[in-house]
């Protein structure tokens, strides 16, 4: 009989804890937001975005509840979460995808290879790149879009003005 009393007491504590948590939706939404953000960072390295957008929606909902903009009602807060998540996704999807792809960066202009000078071993044109061995790697050599030349002949001294993985973009000196 004592054993049943202890279990009943534990059930009451659990009910009290659960009702206490559910009576404060602001804290729940902040907790959900930070938990989703932590999972996104740890598990996906901010690569998936799905949990990131959910986390932003939950944090916005928590903030709106905390500021009193949205009434402290579960049904309304779930709607606020859905709308906040959708708006965050709509606003951030394209910029975050571009950041991931690196397309907005263009050619690397910060590389230590910028300014490197060497003599061409072969003729190059816009349609026919050459090759230059450097630091144990055979780099493809292409004429830069900044160059006025349409062809650069063997033996010409060139300067690297842009870099892509495995590619030097050059102009004649």
Domain assignment present for residue 112? The answer is: no
Note whether 91 and 128 are same-domain residues: no
Residue ending a domain, among 77, 101, 125, is 101
Note whether 28 and 93 are same-domain residues: yes
Q: Using only C-alpha atoms, what is the Rg of the chain?
A: 30
Note whether 64 and 20 are same-domain residues: yes
Which residues are 154's β-sheet partners?
Answer: none
Which residues are 134's β-sheet partners?
Answer: 137
Domain assignment present for residue 110? The answer is: no
Note whether 135 and 71 are same-domain residues: no
Q: Which residues contact 112 (CB under 8 A, 6 or more apart)?
A: none
Number of domains in the chain: 2
Domain of residue 7, residue span: 2-101
Note whether 85 and 121 are same-domain residues: no
Residue ending a domain, among 101, 131, 152, is 101
pLDDT in single tens digits along all 173 residues of the chain: 444 444 445 556 666 656 666 778 899 999 999 999 999 888 877 777 788 999 999 999 999 999 999 998 889 999 999 999 999 999 988 887 776 655 444 545 567 888 999 999 999 998 999 999 988 888 999 999 888 888 999 999 999 998 888 899 999 98
pLDDT of residue 143: 92
Q: Is there a contact between 60 and 54 (Cβ–Cβ < 8 Å)?
A: no
Note whether 55 and 122 are same-domain residues: no
Note whether 75 and 148 are same-domain residues: no
Note whether 94 and 128 are same-domain residues: no
Note whether 62 and 137 are same-domain residues: no
Q: Which residues contact 133 (CB under 8 A, 6 or more apart)?
A: 139
Rounded distance between C-alpha atoms, residue 134 and residue 154, angstroms: 17
B/e letters for 77-104, b = 16+ CB within 10 Å, e = fewer, are beebbeebbeebbeeeeeeeeeeeeeee
Note whether 91 and 122 are same-domain residues: no
Note whether 9 and 88 are same-domain residues: yes
Note whether 86 and 125 are same-domain residues: no
pLDDT of residue 20: 64
pLDDT of residue 105: 46
Q: What is the CATH number of the domain that holds 142?
A: 2.40.50
Rounded distance between C-alpha atoms, residue 134 and residue 117, angstroms: 11
């Amino acid at each position: 009989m004592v054993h049943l009393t202890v279990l009943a007491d534990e059930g009451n504590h659990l009910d009290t804890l659960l009702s206490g948590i559910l009576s404060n939706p602001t804290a729940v939404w902040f907790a959900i937001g930070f938990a989703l953000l932590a999972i996104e960072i740890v598990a996906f390295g901010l690569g998936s975005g799905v949990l990131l957008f959910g986390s932003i929606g939950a944090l916005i909902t928590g903030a709106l509840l905390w500021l009193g903009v949205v009434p402290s009602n579960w049904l309304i807060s779930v709607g606020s979460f859905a709308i906040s998540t959708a708006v965050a996704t709509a606003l951030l999807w394209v910029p975050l995808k571009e950041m991931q792809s690196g397309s907005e960066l263009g050619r690397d202009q910060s590389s230590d290879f910028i300014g490197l000078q060497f003599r061409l071993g072969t003729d190059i044109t816009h349609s026919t790149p050459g090759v230059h061995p450097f630091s144990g790697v055979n780099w493809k050599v292409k004429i830069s879009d900044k160059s006025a030349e349409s062809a650069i002949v063997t033996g010409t001294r060139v300067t690297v003005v842009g870099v892509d993985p495995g590619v030097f973009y050059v102009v004649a000196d």
